[in-house]
Structure formats: C-alpha cells, structure tokens
Amino acid sequence: MRRITIIGLGLIGGSIALSLKQAGLGDIELVGYTRSSETAIKALKRGAVDKIEDNLVSAVDKAEIVVLATPVMAMKEILEKMGPHLSHSCIVTDAASTKVKVMEWAEKYLPSGIKFIGGHPMAGKELSGIEAAEADLFKGCTYCIVQGEDTSSEEIKVITDLVKYLGANPFFITASEHDNFVAGISHLPLIISSSLVMSTTQSPYWQDMSVLAAGGYRDVTRLASQHPVMNRDICLTNQKNILKWIDEFTKELNRFRQLVIDGDQALDKAFIQAQQARHKWIEEHDKGD
C-alpha cells in the first residue's frame, strides 16, 4: 500500500485530505499527523484520513509524498526532525503562504536525494481548523508550484498530479516572485483588514458604530479573522515584501486623502478607475462576486 502523509490537519491540511479522499486514490493510504487528540478524532470522524499518527517519525515512515500543512514557522523544525526518517524516494511539498524561507529550510534540512517542491493553494477562508475543512476548497483555484533544486520533470509531475486531484490549477512560479506577489494580493489585505478592525473597534463610539456596521465592513475586515499564528508567521517570513507593499498602499491612500480634500473631478476619475480595474479582474478571472 502506497502512503501519502499530511502533516497538520487544520483548514488546509484537512481540506487536502478530504479532497484526496473524495477523488478516490485507490490503494493509497492517507496518514494524518496531528498532536491534538481533538483534531485526530474529528479528522477520523469526517473520514479525512485512514490513520492518525501523533509521532512524526512514524507518520512519515514509508511515505511517498509528505505534505506540510502547518503554520510556516513550524515547518522549519518539522523539516529538520523528519528529514532523516524519510524514505529515499519521498517527495516533500508544503502549502505555506510564503515560499522563500520554506525552500531555504528544505534545502538546508532535508537529506540530499529527498526532493522538495513548494506549493501554495490560492484558496482559503477566514475560519480555521479541521471543522472548517472542505473537500471542494481548492476547486478551480490557482495552486502555486515552486520547483526545488534538482527536481526532475517526473517529480514535478507527481505534485502537479496531486494538485489536479484537488481540482486546482497548477501555476509555476519562483519563490521570490511568489512572496512578492502574494504580499500584494494577500498579506497587505490582511494587514489592512486587521488595522481597520483595530482603528474602528477602539473608537469610544464603537458601541453605536457596531450597530451600523454591515456587509461592507464585514467583507473588508474578513481577513482579520484568519488564524493569528498563521498571520504572524506570514509576517515573520515575508517581512520585506510586506513592508514594501504597505508603503505602496500608503502612497495610494495618501493620494486618495488629497483627492477627498480637493473634491474635484480627479476624485470622480479615481473612483471610476478603481471600479473599472476591479471589474476587469473579476471578469478576466471569473471571480464571481
């Protein structure tokens, strides 16, 4: 029996497991690693995995593929610990929100011969944990794939096939491009959402304001509900890009501030431009709404 091991059974790991189960992989044994007995029970109850291991060495034993789905910072230690226990033909991948650091750690801690191919599904939701996991979470999403050093096309194909089983669309990208781009479209929005929550809820008028706040506020603040440990790890492993994007955004916010002061036709134009640019994105990428 061939074995795939998923390390971490939260929203992403749990959804990968459920999705692979749904795809029906035949004689593959799906092993989940978690140290939380609560998560273990829930994962088994949902039929996400065939077996739970709370020991990392046993979990990766004889695995053909290992998928890391923990918060980014935890991956460093996991790579170091499990490295010596991987079978020599094992391919390791991950689902972290940042890629440069993870690729560095894989290069440093995995024994030579073990191939690492980075991954990042561009899907998710603000809820976390196995209870929020869904088999269809990755359906139609872009799934970033970062080739590791010396990976062959056969090895890449193993991970690309896995991504296709999830219903996602493989997108090849370098680690540094990935971290720059997601800082703009994902990490900056997270910082903005969180800053908006803090600046409004700390107001002395929040009690009344909270009654008025509705769908617009809910949507713009949604990312602030993401898992705090994941959020922190994103910042710790993508600091430079995030700071650069905060500064880009601040420039634009200041420009809007001045437009509000001037109150002339340039203000009209700015709102029209923003509406059109977003519309173009929605249309071209079929993002619903």
Q: Interface residues for a copy of itself in 58-117 (CB under 8 A)?
A: none
Instruction: Please tell me whether residue 127 binds a copy of itself under the rule CB under 8 A.
Output: yes
12 sits near a copy of itself (criterion: CB under 8 A): no
Stretch that binds a copy of itself, among 7-15, 76-84, 102-110, 272-280 (CB under 8 A): 272-280
User: Closer to a copy of itself at the Cβ: 160 or 221?
Assistant: 221
Q: What angle do CA 123, 126, 131 make, to 5 degrees?
A: 90
Tokens (6 digits) for 274: 């923003």
Which residues between 18 and 47 bind a copy of itself (CB under 8 A)?
none
Q: Cβ-count burial of 114 within 10 angstroms (0-12 exposed, 13-18 middle, 19+ buried)?
A: buried
Beta bridge partners of 4: 30, 65
Does the protein bind a copy of itself through residue 55 (CB under 8 A)?
A: no
Residue 38 burial (10 A CB sphere; 0-12, 13-18, 19+): exposed
- 270 touches a copy of itself (CB under 8 A): yes
Among 24, 153, 263, 286, binds a copy of itself (CB under 8 A): 263
Pick out residues in 130-169 that bind a copy of itself (CB under 8 A): 141-142, 144
CB of 284 to a copy of itself, least distance (A): 7
Terminal CA-CA length for the chain: 43
Exposed/middle/buried for 62, CB within 10 Å: 0-12, 13-18, 19+? middle
| Pattern 229-248, a copy of itself, x by CB under 8 A | x-xx--xx--x--xx-xx-x
Site for a copy of itself in 197-226 (CB under 8 A): 197-201, 203, 205, 208-226
Smallest separation (angstroms) from a copy of itself to the CB of 283: 11
State the Cα–Cα distance between residues 220 and 215, nearest whole angstrom: 9
Nearest to 75 by CA among 53, 92, 58: 92
Instruction: Please name every residue paired with 33 in a beta bridge, in sequence order, or none if there are none.
Output: 7, 53
Of the two residues 35 and 278, which places its CB atom closer to a copy of itself in the complex? 278
Beta bridge partners of 121: 143
